[in-house]
Structure 1
Amino acid sequence: MHANTVETMLARQDIHDVMMRYARGIDRGDEALLLGCYWEDAIEVHGPAYNGPAVPYLRGAAARMLANKPTMQHFIGNVHIDFDGADTAWVESYILTFARFPKDGEPWDTLTGARSFDKFVRRGGEWRILHRRAVFDWNRDQPSAETWCMGLFDTAHPDMVMGAKGRDDLTYARD
Structure 2
Amino acid sequence: MDTSLEATVRELADRQQIEAALLRYCRGVDRRDKALMLSAYHPDAIDDHGVVVLEAEAFCDWAIEFHDTHNGVTHHAISNLTIDLDGDTAHSECYYTYMGTVPGGPTQLCFGRYVDRHERREGRWAIAARLCFNESVNEISPATLPEDYRRLLTSNGPQTLDRNDASYWRPLTIDPARRG
TM-score greater than 0.5 by the shorter chain: yes
Match of 1:15 among 14, 18, 23: 18
User: Which residue in the other structure is 1:116 paired with?
Assistant: 114
Cα displacement string for residues 10-34 of structure 1 (whole angstroms, at most 9, x for unaligned residues): 0000001001111100000000001
Residue identity opposite 2:99 in structure 1: F
**Aligned residues with identical type, % of pairs:** 30
Give the Cα separation in 1 of the matches to 2:21 and 2:42: 12
Residue 45 (structure 2) pairs with residue 42 (structure 1): yes
Work out whether residues 118 and 133 of structure 1, in 8 Å CA contact, stay in contact via their aligned partners in 2. Answer: yes
Paired residue secondary structure (2:126): strand
Give unmatched runs, 5+ long, in structure 1.
none
The structure with more radius of gyration: 2
Paired residue secondary structure (1:18): helix
Residue identity opposite 1:51 in structure 2: V
More deviation in 92-101 or 62-71? Answer: 62-71
Quote how far apart the aligned CAs of 1:111 are: 0.7
TM normalised by structure 2 equals 0.82
Cα displacement string for residues 89-117 of structure 1 (whole angstroms, at most 9, x for unaligned residues): 00001100001124xxx221111111000
Residue identity opposite 2:94 in structure 1: S
RMSD (Å) for aligned C-alpha atoms:
2.4
Determine which structure has the larger strand proportion and give its number. 1
Give the Cα separation in 1 of the matches to 2:135 and 2:14: 28
Give the Cα separation in 2 of the matches to 1:164 and 1:158: 11
Residue identity opposite 2:115 in structure 1: F
Match of 2:29 among 26, 30, 44: 26
What is the number of residues matched between the two proteins? 166
Work out whether residues 66 and 166 of structure 1, in 8 Å CA contact, stay in contact via their aligned partners in 2. Answer: no
Give unmatched runs, 5+ long, in structure 2.
172-180
Match of 1:168 among 164, 171, 176: 164
Residue identity opposite 1:60 in structure 2: W
Work out whether residues 154 and 160 of structure 1, in 8 Å CA contact, stay in contact via their aligned partners in 2. Answer: no
Residue identity opposite 2:75 in structure 1: Q
Residue identity opposite 1:78 in structure 2: N
Quote how far apart the aligned CAs of 1:168 are: 2.4
User: Which residue in the other structure is 2:177 paired with?
Assistant: none
